[in-house]
């Protein structure tokens, strides 16, 4: 009989976008059950023959009553499913399921997809560290998306090196994200794709494009994604000034990568940026922060430019440098990025290593 694996995550849409191939591989040898908030693609998983169970969760909330309810829901889920082992993604499933599986002696594996805001604030980081230590006492393996995050967990005595597996993020599907012909625009198109929020470096980006506009540089910033309310006025202002075009959330980002001359992501922290992998796979140069989760996918000066995190002046200089590159130079950088994806980030290799580690 096939072993029953319960996968617990915090977002059905994102899990489909980046882990569908892993689920397909696991189906060959396991009965797969997914538990997650339903925010899109749960019906696609069901068409694959996957049982999907809805779980209500506030991903960033800290209300103690809501968290206690989530813990109870997870406990009932384990009683109902009786899985042979559990695989979790993101902080709340990692910690809560880790605690429960440890008590119930159910084998479990966890994925740390970046340290997030919890590790940016000392008091909260200390609290989360204690929770992780308890949750990961009996974890089989913890999958990390970059070496620095794995090292951090080792230094905090959360999980030992022999139980760490470092993967190049979720990898990139090179069949889905194909090399696209480099555009031939009359003016350079910078693309920012993602949530328009402070931690993605949006304030530094808005400073840089305003300054470039003041110097009469010829470019446009394409913005694709949701914005937090505090940035609504700034986005509208940038549109009115002719600096930016806002396209909202895009379920398929590929046409936007294809039209970009350069992708910009000045993020404060990442596990492994899928935006950068997708941009490079499409053959586009990138400008991004020199931080774990971003720098791994870029060869500085060859496939893109790295800048100091939160350094608006350095970001401005990098964007100006990219503007003053010839079209052929930018195209060459994009090709170098594509080759790096082929060498180091192939989705098939990531899936294979993950499945092998679960055996």
For domain 3-166, the question of CATH label 3.40.50.2000 is answered with yes
pLDDT in tens, 277-307: 999 999 999 999 999 999 999 999 999 999 9
pLDDT at 172 over 80: yes
The boundaries of every CATH 3.40.50.2000 domain in the chain are 3-166, 188-344
Q: Given the structure tokens 């555009």, which residue do they identify?
A: 183
Query: 208, 210, 209, 244: which is closest to 227 by C-alpha?
Result: 244
Which residues 6+ apart lie within 8 Å of 130 measured at CB? none
Residue pair 182/283 in contact (Cβ under 8 Å)? The answer is yes
Tell whether domain 188-344 is in CATH 3.40.50.2000. Answer: yes
What number is the average pLDDT over the span 219-247? Answer: 94
Mean pLDDT score, 3-21: 95
Determine the average pLDDT of the residues in 71-89: 96
Kindly state the tokens that stand for 121.
């604030």
- How does residue 160 score in pLDDT terms, banded at 50, 70 and 90? very high
Q: Residues 236-263: what's their mean pLDDT? A: 96
The secondary element (H helix, E strand) that includes residue 132 is helix 122-135
Indicate the average pLDDT of the chain: 94
**pLDDT band per the 50, 70, 90 thresholds, residue 63:** confident
Rounded mean pLDDT, 158-173: 96
Per cent of the chain over pLDDT 90 is 89
pLDDT band at 118 (very low <50, low <70, confident <90, very high): low
C-alpha span between 93 and 99 (Å, rounded):
10
User: pLDDT digit string (tens) for 186-213?
Assistant: 999 999 999 999 999 999 999 999 999 9
Q: What is the pLDDT of residues 304-317, one digit of tens each?
A: 999 999 999 999 99
Residue 60, pLDDT above cutoff 90 = no
Mean pLDDT of 343-348: 97
**Dist CA 281 CA 299 (whole Å):** 14
Phi-psi region of 226 (alpha: psi -120 to 50; beta: other; left: phi over 0): beta
**What is the structure's pLDDT at 64?**
81
pTM: 0.92
Single out the residue of 47, 65, 127, 122 nearest to residue 91, CA to CA.
127
Work out the average pLDDT over 2-14: 94
């Amino acid at each position: 009989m096939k072993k029953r694996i319960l996968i617990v995550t915090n977002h059905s849409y994102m899990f489909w976008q980046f882990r569908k191939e892993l689920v397909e591989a696991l189906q060959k040898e396991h009965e797969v059950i997914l538990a997650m908030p339903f925010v899109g693609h749960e019906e696609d998983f069901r068409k694959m023959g996957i049982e999907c169970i809805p779980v209500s969760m506030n991903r960033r909330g800290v209300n103690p009553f809501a968290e206690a309810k989530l813990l109870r829901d997870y406990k009932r889920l384990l009683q109902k499913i009786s899985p042979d082992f559990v695989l979790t993604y993101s902080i709340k499933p990692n910690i809560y399921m880790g605690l429960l599986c440890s008590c119930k002696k159910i084998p479990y594996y966890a994925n740390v997809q970046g340290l997030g805001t919890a590790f940016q604030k000392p008091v909260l980081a200390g609290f989360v560290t204690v929770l992780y230590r308890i949750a990961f006492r009996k974890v089989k393996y913890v999958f990390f998306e970059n070496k620095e995050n794995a090292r951090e967990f080792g230094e905090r005595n959360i999980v030992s090196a022999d139980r760490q597996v470092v993967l190049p993020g979720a990898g990139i599907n090179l069949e889905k994200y194909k090399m696209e012909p480099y555009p031939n625009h009359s003016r350079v198109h910078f693309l920012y794709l993602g949530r328009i929020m402070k931690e993605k470096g949006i304030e530094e980006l808005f400073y840089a494009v305003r300054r470039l506009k003041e110097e009469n540089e010829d470019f446009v910033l394409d913005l694709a994604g949701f914005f937090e309310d505090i940035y609504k006025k700034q986005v509208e202002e940038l549109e009115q000034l002719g600096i930016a075009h806002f396209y909202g959330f895009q379920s398929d980002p590929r046409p936007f990568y294809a039209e970009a001359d350069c992708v910009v992501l000045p993020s404060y922290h990442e596990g492994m940026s899928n935006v950068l992998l997708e941009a490079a796979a499409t053959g586009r140069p990138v400008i991004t922060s020199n931080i774990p989760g971003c720098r791994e996918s870029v060869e500085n000066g060859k496939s893109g430019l790295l800048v100091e995190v939160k350094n608006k002046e350095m970001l401005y200089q990098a964007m100006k440098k990219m503007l003053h590159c010839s079209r052929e130079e930018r195209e060459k950088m994009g090709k170098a990025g594509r080759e790096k994806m082929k060498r180091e980030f192939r989705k098939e290799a990531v899936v294979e290593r993950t499945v092998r580690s679960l055996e």
